[in-house]
Amino acid sequence: MKTHTDYLWFTTKRRQEFVRITDEVRAAVKKSGVQEGMVLVSAMHITAGVYVNDWESGLIEDFQTWLEKLAPAGLPYKHHQTGEDNADAHLKRTIMGQQVILPITHGDLDLGPWEQVFYAEFDGQRRKRVVVKVMGE
Amino acid sequence: MKTHTDYLWFTTKRRQEFVRITDEVRAAVKKSGVQEGMVLVSAMHITAGVYVNDWESGLIEDFQTWLEKLAPAGLPYKHHQTGEDNADAHLKRTIMGQQVILPITHGDLDLGPWEQVFYAEFDGQRRKRVVVKVMGE
Amino acid sequence: MKTHTDYLWFTTKRRQEFVRITDEVRAAVKKSGVQEGMVLVSAMHITAGVYVNDWESGLIEDFQTWLEKLAPAGLPYKHHQTGEDNADAHLKRTIMGQQVILPITHGDLDLGPWEQVFYAEFDGQRRKRVVVKVMGE
């Protein structure tokens, strides 16, 4: 059994930004030497997420508009009484998901034709991290 | 360490359809011979999901009504400027979830009394796939 | 390869209650002796969830207010024609998520600075269970 751990670091320019990370995840899988197994890709901060969906800029805008409707910024959240202003970021990441696990088959990510992995930042402009944990043989 | 990979194929009759797949996942676990481990069940298309919940037709209708409210079809989504008409399917699958991981204990799925695994199709009527990846010993 | 299985039991006092379980999950990891791997933490009941987010009481209230808005109790759900009254609990758990997988590195949970694991109960006041499955080496 083999394991391998990588950390991806992000400092986005905007507060909210979706970044494609499929290539970085694939590179970690290659580095691990694992032929059959799984890779966990998980946000280590609670105002960011990781999800799989389409690499199409219109749909990414649709996701962002939709999240703003379901979990708006600027409401009088209780969390803001602590001095924070990012309660909406915690809610938005909950909708998009914290993490994905991808299968590894024949030494590569076993993805469908349109699957791309994204880092979803909802409170950026500072250094934040994603863990990539590979396990298999 | 053992791994085993199966693919389940679906061509639903309706655009949106939820299909129970607990038995197919259990069959993959049995075939793998894994006694202790985990099985990943993950949609390979980005307009479908996999989730665990109740096998009760009323609740399944409630889920579908609810998803239509949270992520309606027919809005002027940006994604549709590419010629697509299924932005809502991408959003609905995000709510339901792309995948689940189930524990394997004593050679079988380790499920609670009401847990059933479902494939959730939101843009069907064509061939689509779920990967089942078993890992353990 | 090593595996280890624990079950956490809950009987919450209120119908809806979020319980921090980071320490219990960490204890299971220590008991397993796994140095590098993953741990699955998954609700075994379909009206409860497991999620990672902030240990801050204001934000926990925000989550609960928000879930009530997105998936209200008291609507005429079809599921209630079976005699049940908890359709909203099934929907709320779907938003929060059924499960998380956490990486294990150097024999401990590999968590970001604010990550805490929670059990989210939406139909409590009875005995319910979470499975903790550790796998690694």
Q: Which residue has the tokens 């609810």?
A: B66
Report field, pTM of the whole predicted structure over 0.95: yes
Give tens-digit pLDDT for C114-137.
999 999 999 999 999 999 999 999
Give the number of other CB atoms < 10 A from CB of residue C20: 12
At B79 the pLDDT is: 98
Of A36, A51, A62, the CB nearest to B77: A62
Distance in angstroms (rounded) separating the CA atoms of residues C134 and C27: 11
Give tens-digit pLDDT for C94-107.
999 999 999 999 99
Which of B28, B30, B59, B42 shows the shortest CA–CA distance to C83?
B59
Which of A38, B1, B106, A47 shows the shortest CA–CA distance to C2?
B1
Question: Chain B contacts of A103, Cβ < 8 Å?
Answer: 5, 40, 42, 131, 133
Distance in angstroms (rounded) separating the CA atoms of residues A4 and A19: 23
Percent helix, percent strand, percent coil in chain B, to nearest 5: 30, 35, 35
Tokens standing for B82?
A: 């590419």
| Residue A83 to residues A79, B51, C59, Cα–Cα distance (Å) | 8, 37, 12
Interface of A with B (CB under 8 A): 1, 36-38, 51-54, 56-59, 61-63, 65-66, 70, 95-97, 100-103, 105, 110-115, 135-137
At C2 the pLDDT is: 97
Instruction: Name residue C7's beta-bridge partners.
Output: C131
At A105 the pLDDT is: 98
At A82 the pLDDT is: 96
- Rounded to 5°, angle at Cα A137 from A134 and B4: 100
Chains with ≥3 CB–CB distances under 8 Å to C: A, B
Give tens-digit pLDDT for C35-85.
999 999 999 999 999 999 999 999 999 999 999 999 999 999 999 999 999
At A59 the pLDDT is: 98
Question: Chain A contacts of B135, Cβ < 8 Å?
Answer: 36-38, 135-136
Give tens-digit pLDDT for B67-126.
999 999 999 999 999 999 999 999 999 999 999 999 999 999 999 999 999 999 999 999
At C61 the pLDDT is: 98
Q: Which helix (H) or strand (E) holds A30?
A: helix A22-32
User: What size, in residues, is chain B?
Assistant: 137
At C87 the pLDDT is: 98
| Residue C64 to residues C15, C22, C59, Cα–Cα distance (Å) | 12, 20, 9
Q: Which helix (H) or strand (E) holds A102?
A: strand A99-105
| C7: region left, alpha or beta (phi > 0 left; psi from -120 to 50 alpha) | beta
At B120 the pLDDT is: 98
Ranges of chain A whose pLDDT falls below 70: none
Question: Chain C contacts of B95, Cβ < 8 Å?
Answer: 94-95
Alpha helices in B38-123 (DSSP H): 57-70, 87-96
- Start-to-end CA distance of chain C, whole Å, equals 5
At B44 the pLDDT is: 98
Distance in angstroms (rounded) separating the CA atoms of residues B35 and B4: 12
- 3-class state of residue B65 by DSSP: helix
Query: b or e along C92-118 (b: 16 or more beta carbons within 10 Å of the residue's beta carbon)?
Result: bbbbbbbbbbbbbbeeebbbbeebbbb
Distance in angstroms (rounded) separating the CA atoms of residues C96 and B21: 22
Phi, psi at B56, each rounded to 5°: -145, 120
Distance in angstroms (rounded) separating the CA atoms of residues C38 and C132: 10
Strand B2-10 and strand B128-136: pairing? antiparallel
At B119 the pLDDT is: 98
Give tens-digit pLDDT for B30-73.
999 999 999 999 999 999 999 999 999 999 999 999 999 999 99
